[in-house]
Structure 1
Amino acid sequence: MLSTIKTLAQTLAPRLIEIRRHLHAHPELSGQEYQTAAYVAGVLSSCGLRVEEAVGKTGVVGELQGRGEDNRILGIRTDMDALPIQELTSVEFASRKPGIMHACGHDVHTTLGLGTAMILSQMQESLQGNVRFIFQPAEEIAQGAGWMVRDGAMRDVSSIFGVHVFPSIPAQSVGIRYGALTAAADDLEIFIQGESGHGARPHEAKDAIWIAAQAICALQQAIARTQNPLRPIVLTIGQIAGGRAPNVIADRVRMAGTVRSLHPETHASLPAWIEGIVNDICKMYGASCEVNYRRGVPSVQNDFALTQLIEAAAREAWGSDRVQILTEPSLGAEDFSLYLESAPGTMFRLGVGYPERLNHPLHHPEFEVDESAIVTGVVTLAYAACKYWQSPHRES
């Protein structure tokens, strides 16, 4: 089975690189992936899959029916959207759309999903169960997964795999992470209401800017002294606005930021904890506040057994020297976590770094990938899917 998958992948390699370069040259922003979706649907249809378009607005779902008696559906999710970044690479297939770039590797992800579908469709007679390929829009704005789930993309799915490229891992290597892979990411907005006054007579006013500064410091200090240091929280106030003139004490301040956490229990407690601290600071100085805490996406918590399966597939396919066990999670966010509310799943990292040269990080205008990683990712996904049907039955 593995040798067949590797042979098919090597045969398809030129076509997969062609697909990736086409996608890279024609990026589309979140929620606007119309041409990408049509392209994906065309490739899936040519492989004989049952295709449904306009799922989750601009998403695509392809269903591959196995010939075995296992009724489980394995989901394989890849994302399709690009970023509002002006590409500064010198590759011949650079973005043809000014100000839009595949700087996060979603062109590679889409190619991996298509390549896996192309391989497994040629092995359909020996496929024991069904595979649902989920091509998702709008990951970069953390909206697309929710759209796809609401439109039924996860209906009857038993388990799901995901993948994300990683430039700090060498190409042709795979990164495996047990437990928390990414952080929960929430939005925070705080209004401080004080009382205006003359800058020369601060005692007659309630300085909203000064009180806001006390609130920011109190929140950061409280993280270090009231929260479990083994359950990290990162709170960043990225915007602050208030005041009308240099000699007028501001009566109102608006602050906005992001809150990242890894553990579900900590994540659940954050809104009340933050509001309590800000309220106490405001009461101390005679002001009032409004705290708006908006849930984003939860942390990706990789299922242990499915992560073991991906690790075993990668080790068998490539050898242990090309498999890295990642000891640290990322505090970045990934809406793959929303699929995990419907079924267990796991996401692995695919190394795309060039050896012995500078590798720019994700979201950088000069971000590039070593395309030799595409075969690695496709083989790993296809072989893990085949091994899935050999694993014990699990109810989602």
Structure 2
Amino acid sequence: MSNTQSVMFVTKRPDIEMVSGQGSWLVDNHGKRYLDFLQGWAVNCLGHSDPGMLAALNAQASKVINPSPAFYNQPMIELADLLTKHSCFDKVFFANSGAEANEGAIKLARKWGRMHKDSAFQIITFDHSFHGRTLATMSASGKPGWDTMFAPQVNGFPKADLNDIASVERLINDKTVAVMLEPVQGEGGVIPASKEFMQQLRALTKAHNVLLIVDEVQSGCGRTGELFAYQLSGIEPDIMTLGKGIGGGVPLAALLSTDAVAVFEPGDQGGTYCGNPLMTAVGVNVIGQITAPGFLDDVKAKGQYLREQLLKLSDKHHLDGERGEGLLRALQLGSDMGNELVERARTMGPNGLLINAPRPNLLRFMPALNVTRAEIDQMISMLDEVMTVEIASRKQAVPA
């Protein structure tokens, strides 16, 4: 293990280095293999070292990497066309991270409010939501404790309750410019917004001349079985943000809007690397693979298969069931053993398993969209093993 003293401490990391990956598997510096059901937190939508992505990256690197955002480039144009072709949006701005795309969405909504709604600026967001780690996106998020972490917060983000339309309506006033939500709250515990709620929200925002922003950084790009999660509800938002899966592992994000909302003027928005051809060339390949005939149907089928296997595991160990959409799913544990299961799964041998516990009583699964059923079965078998051990150890720890 290399000396890590020069790396700033921002999170606890195990004492290993990941050195290579292929498909659903990662390999560390000791040669141990891990079945990866994290995939960079839903980033590697095509798994590790996808051949198509590598070919696109290498081909573009031999042409031009960064001509500067002052010029158009072909991959930028091609990816923007792909995204608008497959969505209800007309305009695309490329960024480098989901937080940056969400920051842009906030700016765009406020600019629209200044121009069209008497300088309305408040954006209603939701408890337990997660929109990024910039000051504005942390303020927009409903993550417990974030309101004091880097206080004072950016003003203007009142919080409603997901799937409770009355809680949204109570917050709307003459300063409200938008409502912003994740169609599936990922960091909050894989909590889907219901189809009925999304439709009610679209109707409510239209009635009050308020924009609807969907943060699809985690739920977009095929993760739910539709290309974009808003399509599950049959609605058309005004603004959408993408990140994670759009680049399949490279730093790429996007802010999309309808023509009516695309009110940025020169100087309002930009970025040194925004829309650079190296990243957007990879994005073109990723979106091309995801939109290929049959791909999303397969994601839906495997999402249903994963759901069925998780429910069987829940029944076997007397847990509280599962929830989610497509291949973004959570197992509700019924007790606070999530962190222990994550550690046991990673350290088990001979192969480890990589999973995530966004809450102590819940496990989250974000496999590659091209994960196989055999790999799902293997994950379930490994999780069953560590769960059996953990539950038994807890029973032994209880005094007689």
Please report the TM-score for the alignment, with normalisation by the length of structure 2: 0.24
Q: Which structure: larger Rg?
A: 1
- Choose between structure 1 and 2: higher strand proportion: 1
Please report the TM-score for the alignment, with normalisation by the length of structure 1: 0.24
